[in-house]
Amino acid sequence: MRRIIAINRKVYVRDGKIFFGNKNYPLRGVYEVWTTLRNIDTSSLEILLKRRKLVYIFDKQGFQGLLLPFHTSYGLWSEKITIAQAMAYRNIELKKKIEREIISAIIHNIATVFQWYIRKGLERNIVEEFKDRIRRAKECLNRSDAYMLCEARAWRALFFVLRNMFDDFNGRIRRPPADPLNALISYLNGLLYAQCLHAILLVGLDPMISFVHEPSPKRRFSLPLDIKDIFMPYITIRLAVKLRKRMGKNCFHFTERRGRRACYLNRRGRTIVVREFRKAMRSRIRGERTYNIIVREVENLGKCIVSGGRHEYRAWRL
């Protein structure tokens, strides 16, 4: 079974085949399609839904939504798993244990990505300041149960470093992103979020019940945010820093939105980012593909939830 990623190419379905760019595949061998509303017509969308294919929709900022066929076995969470997740969420001790493990892994991955991929060439005082801030974030994790505050301190430490690396980056600014690095982070986060949602649906967990981010009516699926943040330092930040050094202004579109400057990837920039993201998903860490690591991460969380905490959950660390 094949996933079609055609975010920057026209997609249409005819005679039992799906066409995009200069390629085409039999529709029966496709299980999901990543595209934009501009690149697909309504008749093709109708056929995909009738043939029980999941359609992930993207826009200029990243992941926008999911079209889920009403009649399908793939992409639906079971009642038993939803009940188990709800019970795990209501179990304060288990919820705190999962939350602490996820945030501990995030802080570890931020520190490791800095050490392996970002530190080179930085002034000594910036490196020491980052180390001091990360140390305080880890200490916070050991003496407080306000785990998200500890995570926020670790992210602020990383963004402090990035502010000193790029003159036009003034910290993490979303909706809209204010500069090229923020635009890269936002778009890569959207791709990573969709990948984590795919893994959650594949495993069969309920994407609406999360443990770090509070479930919210404004955000339909919050569990992918928990999983995304574990991999964000290695996938989003590492790629964003790498691509920011390579990509010129001709890869971005500058405009104004909500009374302030906004920056988005243009078609050329999105093509480069999607290509690099797909390479990252196929790349191997200790012999295992990154895509498989994300799926296995969700599986491990699922085992912990279904067992009521008897199966220990150990979040992925770089």
User: Cα(308)–Cα(302) distance, rounded to whole angstroms?
Assistant: 10
**pLDDT tens figures, 248-299:** 888 888 888 777 888 899 989 998 999 999 999 999 888 899 999 999 999 9
Last residue of a domain, one of 35, 67, 99: 67
Domain count of the chain?
A: 2
Query: How much is the average pLDDT of 184-208?
Result: 91
In this structure, the answer to whether residues 53 and 85 fall within a common structural domain is no
How far apart are the C-alpha atoms of 170 and 129, rounded to whole Å? 17
97 and 211 share one domain: yes
Q: Which H helix or E strand runs over 149?
A: helix 147-165
Q: Residue 269 falls within a domain, yes or no?
A: yes
pLDDT(75) > 60: no
Percent above pLDDT 90 for the chain: 39
Burial of 310 (0-12, 13-18, 19+ CB in 10 A): exposed
The values of phi and psi at residue 263, to 5°, are -135, 130
> Is 292 found in the same domain as 200?
yes
Which residue among 67, 96, 124 closes a domain?
67
Q: Do 183 and 217 fall within a single domain?
A: yes
Domain span at residue 54 reads 2-67
Tens-digit pLDDT profile for residues 201-216: 888 898 988 998 887 7
| 260-265/252-257 β-pairing | antiparallel
CATH number of the domain to which 300 belongs: 1.20.120.920
Amino acid at 116: W
> Do 57 and 157 belong to one domain?
no
Digit-coded pLDDT (tens) for 157-172: 999 999 988 888 888 8
CATH at 42: 3.100.10.20
pTM, whole model, 2 decimals? Answer: 0.89
17, 44, 67 - which closes a domain: 67
Band of pLDDT at residue 111, cut at 50, 70 and 90: very high
